[in-house]
Amino acid sequence: MQRNSNRPLVVKIEKIIEETPTVRTLVFSDEIFSSVLPGQFAMVWIPGVNELPMSVMITLEKGKGAFTVRKHGLASTELYNLKVGDYIGMRGPYGNSFTIKQGKLLLVGGGTGLVPLVRLLTFLKKTDEVTILIGAKTKEEVFFEKLANQLLENNKHQVIVVTEDGTYGKSGLVTEEMEKLLYEKKFDAIYTCGPEKMMHKVVQLAHTKKLHVQASLERMMKCGMGICGSCCMGEVLVCKDGTVFDGEYLLSNKEFGFTHRNKAGILENY
């Protein structure tokens, strides 16, 4: 099925899944958004409020697309508060996707950064051995643990939850757990999405072991299609050249993990 990604589409919210007290998944019908590649995103229009970039979440139903939103500022809270039967607009899908490797794979995600990683799980082969590290601040912010186990039921797999305050799963940062895992096990590829500081550490750790690593970046996005420049990271546009980049490239980019642009386009430190 073909459609111009830049042509806005309006869909009705058909179902809402409560993931945590601050995170909800909104489900709608659309063939194209039901089958995007892992790492691709949409520009979601909340009528009368704003347009936000959102990774496209999977659903377990054919022909359905979804977004998993954490309520944060004005626009994401308005999106989070929508009800079944309300309408949202969207453009896309935009961006590239993860290169899918085979073998022993490690996925490291934090918060809604888990969305493209969960989609990646649906592209893996049954012969892949998969370890997924799910990072959260505290027990009540953990989500997608059950879904990840369900999607991986036919693979040799391990879903490891790490909370910063130790209220659930392992205690500490996902990157600390990753460091331990890299000593214990061998991996063929690593994928990550989440806060950029976390991804920077993941890429550095993978690099020390000379492992293939890719990260899906979240930068300030306004047009989502390579025009406005608000998502630039050095010479690249995250919306158009990414969102997925190889670790080797990222470590050569002086902005990655250190600075990003705010809504006014001004460079700020993380």
Residues that bind ligand FES (CB under 6 A): 221-224, 226-231, 237, 239
Q: Which is nearer to ligand FES, 124 or 236 (CB)?
A: 236
Q: Which is nearer to ligand FES, 35 or 259 (CB)?
A: 259
Q: Which is nearer to ligand FES, 94 or 98 (CB)?
A: 94
Does 97 engage in binding with ligand FAD (CB under 6 A)? no
Q: Which is nearer to ligand FAD, 34 or 50 (CB)?
A: 50
Q: Give ∠ CA 124-190-269 in degrees, rounded to 5.
A: 130
Select from 136, 224, 131 the least CA-distant residue to 174: 136
CB of 186 to ligand FAD, least distance (A): 31
CB of 265 to ligand FAD, least distance (A): 12
Does 73 engage in binding with ligand FAD (CB under 6 A)? yes
Q: Which does 237 bind (CB under 5 to 8 A by kind): ligand FAD, ligand FES, none?
A: ligand FES
Between CA 165 and CA 174 the distance in angstroms is 12
Select from 130, 125, 82 the least CA-distant residue to 108: 130
Task: Tell me whether strands 259-261 and 267-269 are parallel, antiparallel or unpaired.
Answer: antiparallel
CA-atom Rg of the chain in angstroms: 18
Q: Which of 74, 84, 227, 267 binds ligand FAD (CB under 6 A)?
A: 74
Q: Give ∠ CA 59-75-255 in degrees, rounded to 5.
A: 85
Does 72 engage in binding with ligand FAD (CB under 6 A)? yes
Scan residues 47-66 and list those touching ligand FAD (CB under 6 A): 50, 52-55
Q: Which does 190 bind (CB under 5 to 8 A by kind): ligand FAD, ligand FES, none?
A: none
The answer to whether 58 touches 118, Cβ cutoff 8 Å, is: yes
Q: Which of 109, 160, 243, 245 binds ligand FAD (CB under 6 A)?
A: 243
Does 132 engage in binding with ligand FAD (CB under 6 A)? no
Between CA 93 and CA 95 the distance in angstroms is 7
Tokens of 59: 């659903």
Facing residues of 236 across strands? 233
The answer to whether 246 touches 213, Cβ cutoff 8 Å, is: yes
Q: Which chain residues interact with ligand FAD by CB under 6 A?
A: 41, 50, 52-55, 68-70, 72-76, 112, 115, 218-222, 243
